Structure 1
Amino acid sequence: MIMSLPEEDLTCPVCCDIFRDPVLLSCSHSFCRNCLKQCWDTRIRECPVCRRKGSKSPPPSNLALKNLCEALQQMRRQNSLEEQVRCSLHGEKLKLFCLADEQPICVVCQASKLHKNHDCSPVEEALLNCKKKLEFALKSLQSKMENLKGMYKTSGDMFTYIKYQSLETQRRIKSQFELLHQALCDEESARTEALKKEEEEKVVAIKEKMNKLSAEILSVTETMSAIERQLKEDDIILLKNFKATQDRDRDILGGLDDMSGSLIDVTKHLSNLKYRVWEKILDNVDYTSVTLDPSTAHPCLVLSDDLTSLHYSKQPSCCPDNPKRFHVSAEVVGMTSLGSGSHHWVVETGSNQDWLLGVASLSVSRNTEVSARPENGFWTLCFRDGELRAMSSPPTLLTVSSKPEQVKVHLDYNKGTVSFFDPVDNLLLYAFSQTFTEPLLPYFYTQNSHPLRILPEKVLITVLQQ
């Protein structure tokens, strides 16, 4: 009966497609329910064909026509499925799956030279294996999607923090340059411009990273949707499309690297700033041999603008995470690693009643809390509860007449010694002896609101005359 009807009798006059949920008007014309609603929403309530005014009540469904259209659609699907399950070359039913080409084939294909030496399996057996592979790929992509979303959020946080870093660094640069003579204005402008250029480069880099993450998220989403559709398809259709789906999964980019190096290098702009412009001013130039690395500072540590002092705050800062930062204990290390030669610096402890000073190995853990002792890569002096101790194994209680207001740390890397002195009378407090196997970093810890301050050294300029 369906085949005897011309297709135009089953076609909606509005959308020119097979009727979907047809309704019947009093003039005997039929339309898709949605098509008629759209027409009546934009013009008066009349038949789109004969213009006869329609009733105010909703038109009834044309059930007979609906059944005919659904039967026609079902017949089309069956014919399409029948074509899909037969070989396009030989017309035979697809009963085998070529493991080499990952495609369903017929028995004639198997005997042909194209697949003659290929291993094949029944489609039922291949279907189970292919479904397992696709389900595993889907789970892997779902896990990857979660990681990508986390990385995208971290990128967004870093984007915001870079802007903050830029503004804060500009403020610090300005505060230091205000202490200098007017002759330094040109130098200030040059350094501010360098910061702005780095900011632009970092912002461009993080935007590109975020764009790549967005593109990969979209790609993963589309691939996941394709696999989910595949898993709902007919078995043979799934097998026919399996290789294309697998190839699409392989084309997805690997996970992006971490965010190391994304932030502005604040120390490049602030470290020893006044010393590096000493040619502009010959008097009152302070040089600090050790400056703190803000990228390593625990969020509860507050560093000074010139990166030479630190104190503890119960209110942590909103700084983004990075692999260099101490996460558990209120610690920070210096900017420059020390891998040879002799080095010293003096720290003013003042009223601070809870501190550790010394050196730490470059590879010390930043994510776990460990004792600051030599076996863990620390050589430190500790003042706590009114007692001074060298953090040896076990700790050594030191007898002193009074708490030192200043502590001089002296590292002789080649000789393998770390010594602590009271610089007022150059009294040796304690000395470690160790064979170092990796570079060391100046190390600081405090959980006290009073600051620890690295004291500057005087710079002597000597002119050699020919």
Structure 2
Amino acid sequence: MSSGLSLPEEDLSCPVCCDIFRDPVLLPCSHSFCRECLQRYWETSGARSCPVCRRRSSRRNPPANLALRNLCEAFAQDRVRREATEAGQLCPQHGERLKLFCQEDQLPICVVCQASKTHKGHECLPLEEAAVDCRAELKAALKTLQDQLAALNKQRSNVDMTLEHIELQAQSISKRIKDKFLKLHQFLFEEEKAALSSLRKEEEARLHTIKEKAVSTAETIDSFSETIRSLQQEVAANDLTVLQRFKTAMKRVQCSEPETELASGLLMDEAKHLGNLKFRVWEKMRSVAPHFPVILDPNTAHPCLSLSDDLTALQHRSPAPRLPSNPERFHMSAEALCSTGFCAGTHSWVVDSTGNQDWILGLAYRSVQRSAEISARPENGFWTLCLRDGVYRAMTSPPTVLTLSGKPRQIKVELDWEGGELSFTDSEEGVTLYMFTQTFEETVLPYFYTQSKHPLRILPEPASVTRGV
């Protein structure tokens, strides 16, 4: 009991029901009982006697014990107040019931707090209304975290696939390097060892990087899972608890959005190891070896494209294998870029399209969109020539149909970056098919598209080469 009441709780309890008196009545023997308890006892016993001392009462309706009722009501109110205080339902500063929620301070307050200087002028809502808003906000935050967790789980799957793909890439590159070196003279043995050593170091470095990413992703997932479990408990709590813990809970979820995509450059750099390999060795040997002015980059190729071992030819294949969803790769159509980019100088390469009736050739900015299907036109960062349904078109806006006297098999692409010119020529006939004029603003890369099973082949050129950036 509180200090305002002198009687212990047992003196305020009915001898029949052993609970606090409800509507107590007083018998002539001075014993008191709940009116309902006494009537029920009399009905059961068949006699109007005191349940304690058995003294008979001459009155059918004993008088109410007003003093005892007042004491019991005061005791009940005091117990409710104590329980409310212990449950945090009363203001610790003013002892009043918490009925409002301060929007500015995000705290439950009482009516006295609202009138105080601390919260004067602040927008306040009834607890019930504020709880609805705060619970909705917590649910939204929970949904965001759950979505981010789903994205992280998807990333973990892609990380696992990337690990496997890097290992397969390394095995494939190793095999092709060995096949090429087998065709060289024995004194090239030391060059082969150097190339394989470089490959192993890169494999180890990239595997180390992606494994660190896997560990980091797993730790982030654990952290998000723990936060979600905590928020689920917060959301399931009663209104007041939600409001009391809302500010702290929101601080826990106001973290930066996790990175849910792999960074660029995680895959093995096949072009570095295989591109112009024979030519680079030839420079040391001072002997003849084919040189290709541009090399396809497998990490950009859509999975439906198959690239040759020396990365100089591509063709459509079906079904497409499952490959990691790395940022460099085209995801929507059968496109690929070369590994060599140009931001200065003049450059040229020849593509043999013999037998291929569905292709697009040209240039693209390095920054072109790769996760959406867009037209290969200048406004999207492409400058290309197209053959489809037997019709040659320059992919301007709208496309320009070309009237040609023949069907060129070898298309020469010539770029003058500073001069802003890109021309397409029938390499065998020496006839210009079309020329784009464009002020280039960033690095451009050779671009290829095909849905034909007949390959597009980049042809070798004499050893005198202008290297790309």
Structure 2 length normalisation: TM-score?
A: 0.71
Deviation at 1:118, TM superposition (A): 9.2
| Counterparts of 1:158 and 1:101, CA distance in 2 | 47
Secondary structure of the structure 1 residue equivalent to 2:190: helix
Q: Output the CA distance in 2 between the equivalents of 1:103 and 1:422.
A: 77
Q: Which moved more, 1:182-191 or 1:362-371?
A: 362-371
AA in 2 matched with 1:155: V
Partner secondary structure for residue 458 of structure 1: coil
Letter in 2 for 1:85: G
- Asked if the contact 2:102/2:119 (under 8 Å) is kept, the reply is no
Matched, 1:259 2:271: no
Q: Deviations over 1:342-398 (max 9, x none)?
A: 111122223333333222333444344444444544333334455545445443333
* Whole-Å separation in 2 of the counterparts to 1:89 and 1:370: 63
Asked whether the equivalents of residues 424 and 435 of structure 2 are also in contact (C-alpha less than 8 Å), the reply is yes
Aligned counterpart, 2:68: none
Offset of residue 255 of structure 1: 1.5
CA contact (8 A) 1:85 1:93 kept: no
How far apart, in 2, do the equivalents of 1:390 and 1:107 lie?
76
Partner of 2:402: 397
1:194-233 alignment, distance < 5 Å? 194-233=198-237
- Residues 291 and 134 (structure 1), Cα distance of their counterparts in 2 relative to 1, 3 Å cut: same
Show the 5 A alignment for 1:6-25. none
User: CA shift at 1:259, angstroms?
Assistant: 1.2
Contact 2:360–2:386 (Cα < 8 Å) also in 1: yes
Per the alignment, in what secondary structure is the counterpart of residue 419 of structure 1? strand
Q: Per-residue deviation at 1:173?
A: 1.8
Per the alignment, residue 137 of structure 2 pairs with 133
1:288 aligns with 2:292: yes
Query: What residue identity is the alignment partner of 2:212?
Result: E
Hey, what's the Cα distance between the residues in 2 that align with 1:254 and 1:365? 23
Query: Counterparts of 1:374 and 1:231 in 2: how far apart (Å)?
Result: 52
- For 1:302, what is the secondary structure of its paired residue? strand
Equivalent residue, structure 1, for 2:323 = 319
From 160, 166, 189, the equivalent of 1:162 is: 166
Quick one: which amino acid aligns to residue 405 of structure 2? V
CA contact under 8 A between 2:151 and 2:260: conserved in structure 1? no
Q: Which residue of 1 aligns with 2:425?
A: 421
Give distance in 2, aligned partners of 1:143 and 1:366: 24
Tell me the CA shift for residue 88 of structure 1.
Answer: 9.5
Task: Give the structure 2 partner of residue 64 of structure 1.
Answer: none
Q: Which amino acid aligns with 1:142?
A: Q
Instruction: Provide Cα deviations, 1:245-300, integer angstroms capped at 9, x if missing partner.
Output: 222223x4522152132222222222222223334321122221111111221212
Counterpart of 1:351? Answer: 355
Q: 1:212/1:80 Cα in 2 relative to 1: closer, same or farther (>3 Å)?
A: farther
Which amino acid letter does the alignment assign opposite residue 230 of structure 1?
E
- Please say if residues 340 and 414 of structure 1, whose CA atoms lie closer than 8 Å, have aligned partners that are also in contact: yes
Q: Counterparts of 1:14-163 in structure 2 under 5 Å?
A: 83-85=86-88, 92=95, 94-95=97-98, 97=101, 102-104=106-108, 119=122, 121=124, 123-163=127-167
Q: In structure 2, do the counterparts of structure 1 residues 109 and 160 end up closer, same or farther at CA, with 3 Å as the change threshold? A: same
The structure with the largest alpha-carbon Rg is 2
Closer, same or farther in 2 for the Cα pair 1:109/1:254, shift >3 Å? same
Q: How many residues align?
A: 383
Map of 1:336 onto structure 2: 340
Instruction: Quote the offset at 1:444 in angstroms.
Output: 1.9
Query: 1:334: Cα distance to partner?
Result: 1.5
The match for 1:270 among 267, 271, 274 is 274
- 1:444 counterpart residue number: 448
Measured in 1, the distance between the counterparts of 2:410 and 2:107 equals 78
CA, structure 1 residues 167+79, in 2 after alignment: closer, same or farther (shift >3 Å)? Answer: farther
How far off its partner does 1:310 sit?
1.3
Corresponding residue SS for 2:402: strand
User: Structure 1 203/93 Cα, relative in aligned 2: closer, same or farther at 3 Å?
Assistant: farther
Q: Name the aligned partner's letter for residue 366 of structure 2.
A: L
* Percent identity of equivalent pairs: 44
Q: Is the 8 A contact 1:99 1:118 kept in 2?
A: no
- The farther-off stretch of 337-346 and 253-262 is 253-262
Contact 2:393/2:399, CA 8 A, preserved across alignment: no
CA contact (8 A) 1:100 1:118 kept: no
- Whole-Å separation in 1 of the counterparts to 2:436 and 2:106: 67
**Within 1, Cα distance between the matches of 2:282 and 2:197?**
20
**Contact residue 110 and residue 116 of structure 1 kept, 8 A:** yes
8 Å CA contact retained: 2:402, 2:433: no
Deviation of the 1:125 alpha carbon: 4.9
Q: What SS is found at the alignment partner of 1:145?
A: helix
After superposition, the Cα gap between the structure-2 partners of 1:243 and 1:305, relative to the gap in structure 1 and judged at 3 Å, is same
Q: Structure 1 CA distance, aligned partners of 2:447 and 2:372?
A: 16
| Contact 2:423–2:434 (CA under 8 A) maintained in structure 1 | yes
Q: C-alpha offsets along residues 396-453 of structure 1, whole Å, 9 cap, x if unaligned?
A: 333334x333222211222222223333353434333333343322122222222222
Change in 2 beyond 3 A, CA 1:89/1:427: closer
Over 3 Å counting, the alpha-carbon distance change for 1:194 and 1:124 in structure 2 is: same
Compared with structure 1, are the counterparts of its residues 366 and 227 closer, same or farther at alpha carbon in structure 2 (3 Å cutoff)? closer
CA distance in 2, matches of 1:223, 1:352: 56
Structure 2 SS opposite 1:284: coil
Match of 2:238 among 234, 249, 255: 234
CA distance in 1, matches of 2:402, 2:286: 45
Per-residue CA deviations over 1:62-118 (Å, capped at 9, x if unaligned) read xxxxxxxxxxxxxxxx998751226696693552556666444667888999x5779
Going from structure 1 to structure 2, the CA distance change for 1:127 and 1:287 (only over 3 Å counts) comes to: same
Counterpart residue identity of residue 398, structure 1: T
Which runs of no fewer than 5 residues in structure 2 stay unpaired? 1-8, 11-80
Q: Is the Cα contact below 8 Å between 2:91 and 2:97 reproduced in 1?
A: no
